[in-house]
Chain A
Amino acid sequence: MALDRSDVEKIAHLARLQIDEQEIPQYTENLSSILDLVNQMQAVDTSDIEPMANSHDAVQRLRADEVTEQNNREKLQSIAPAAEAGLFQVPKVIE
């Protein structure tokens, strides 16, 4: 299955990746070959196999509903690029 240029641009946009114009043909080819591999696996008959949600054959452990975390705002915000009035600051996202 062959992806085209616009597919790659769309995927890059969805992942918020900035990609070099010149590298697009390379990405297109590499990603297409991944899909080819998936296609090859599609040939295997899996109708008797239960879908797997996780590669570990285990069950989710549950946590008691207790508050165990204290307020660490100061520490956590000291590593943020910007914070003011207790809020993390990011470039404006709405005009």
Chain B
Amino acid sequence: MEWEAVIGLEIHAQLSTNSKIFSGASTAFGAEPNTQACAVDLALPGTLPVFNEEALRSAVKFGLAIDAEIGRKSVFDRKNYFYPDLPKGYQTSQLFYPIVGVGHVDITMDDGTTKRVGVTRAHLEEDAGKSLHDEFPGMTGIDLNRAGTPLLEIVSEPDIRSAKEAVAYVRKIHAIVTSLGICDGNMAEGSFRCDCNVSIRPKGQEEFGTRTETKNINSFRFIERAIEGEIERQIDLLEDGGRVVQETRLYDANKNETRSMRSKEEANDYRYFPCPDLLPIIIDDDYIDVIRNDLPELPDARKARFMDDYGLSDYDAMVLSGERNLAQYFETVAKASDDAKLAANWVMGELSKMLNQNDTEIVNSPVSADQLGGMLVRIKDDTISGKIAKQVFEVMWHEGGTADQIIEAKGLKQVTDTGAIEGIVDEVIAKADKQVEQYKAAEPEKRGKMLGFFMGQVMKATGGKANPGAVNGILKKKLDALCD
């Protein structure tokens, strides 16, 4: 039977506010446990929440960016459950009147097709603390630094049909929140995480199958793998005559599989009700217009600009425009080198490769955009070849320095002096009788291919520093002269 997956995603984006959503405690990452948890976060008796205006503004920005209805009136509700890292016994969230209503994003797949994915809603809520189960025998340690950190939960429609579409959607949302500057998007630190609702049904069937929810996946690659694995697991189950149980699952990156979490008892009985400690949030058109007029450039607009201004291909523009930091880096390199295509190739090629290999975010790249731009200038003016540039880049990455300093210190300057190249070419030809004979014996139209051997020898003799164009020309001239 042919199966179809139905996927809906819930993304939690941590808002980049200085203080918490309902208290004046800091949200900075990595502090000593419980040093950023105040009386409000600990739910001590007599404390009351006061809503953070920046959290509201951030949510409205997101709503405008996905062309959504903004809730002129939104209300906080209490979602009740007991867990030690939730001191109040409820999470303050928004169920009935979320700040952001129905919106949408367009995703582009690798083959260039686009698809619109609906966003059901996005609402504000507070994060819980952290439980540490393994450090103390028989006890659980609780760190409440994260308790009360503002989150925007973004809920998609079940419009997604494959793991690849899911990743494209998550990347798009990631690009939007980072471009807006409302979330740092750091998945490793948990600032941006994703719950995946997955079900399958026979292709053509209207009705949805039973879904599972895989929680807190924190990398794009893991999202794709977790969903693929979960689809496969469900198909196997159904084809073996079993049935899918509605449950929460955890993705184990080491084993690359999802497994059932101990089911939260009465998991769906949260008994939501409006939070009596918080009043309705009312915003008017003026408030929204001020934010709308101040929105930064969004990924779609940036992509169009990259294609227009820099002449980038659709694919290159999409890759480079997505993340704000990457886009800024690219633009700096493009301006410094005055060659957008070369800049695009290096940023998407060598630089991205090194960042991936070293698991480094672009903002922490050891090679700055100015450094890279400076090196591209030296490729363009023929000081170094593209091949030597890779060596320069390696040195830059590991040891720092400008391209000029490295080229000078390592003696990598390209030999463009025709006289010097001619001398080396003569030596190479003199030592390669056999290949010269073959060259002479070959049909003239096949000789071009045979230059490769001689090129290689000249490059070897010059340590790769000879200008390839010049070498080619001289070789051809000298060899063809021998054939006459």
A: residues with CB less than 8 A from B are 10, 13-14, 16, 53-56, 58-69, 71-73, 76-77, 82, 84-94
Contacts and interface: CB of A to CB of B under 8 A. Distances in A.
B360 interface: no
A73 B34 contact: yes
A55 B282 CA distance: 15
22 contacts: A10-B266, A13-B266, A14-B271, A59-B281, A60-B278, A61-B50, A62-B51, A63-B51, A65-B19, A66-B18, A67-B26, A68-B19, A69-B38, A76-B34, A76-B39, A87-B33, A87-B141, A89-B140, A89-B141, A90-B84, A92-B138, A93-B131
B142 A65 contact: no
A59 B54 contact: no
A62 to B, nearest CB: 4
Interface of B: 17-19, 23-26, 32-39, 42, 44, 50-56, 75, 80, 82-84, 97, 131-133, 135-136, 138-144, 262, 265-266, 269, 271, 274, 276, 278-282
Contacts of A62: 50-53, 56
B279 A58 contact: yes
Given A54-B274, A92-B139, 20 more contacts: A14-B266, A53-B279, A54-B279, A59-B279, A60-B51, A61-B50, A63-B53, A65-B19, A65-B52, A65-B54, A66-B19, A67-B26, A69-B36, A71-B36, A73-B32, A76-B42, A87-B143, A91-B138, A94-B140, A94-B262
Given A66-B19, A68-B19, A85 B24 contact: no
B276 A86 contact: no
Interface centre among A10, A14, A16, A82 (most CB of B within 10 A): A14
A86 B84 contact: no
Contacts of A71: 35-36
B268 to A, nearest CB: 11
A91 to B, nearest CB: 7
A68 B24 CA distance: 5
A63 B52 contact: yes
Contacts of B33: 85-87
A10 B39 CA distance: 31
A59 B280 CA distance: 6
Interface centre among A13, A62, A68 (most CB of B within 10 A): A62
Contacts of A84: 136, 139, 141
A6 to B, nearest CB: 13
What are the 6 A-B residue pairs with the smallest beta carbon separation, nearest first? A68-B24, A87-B141, A65-B54, A62-B53, A69-B38, A86-B33
A86 B32 contact: yes
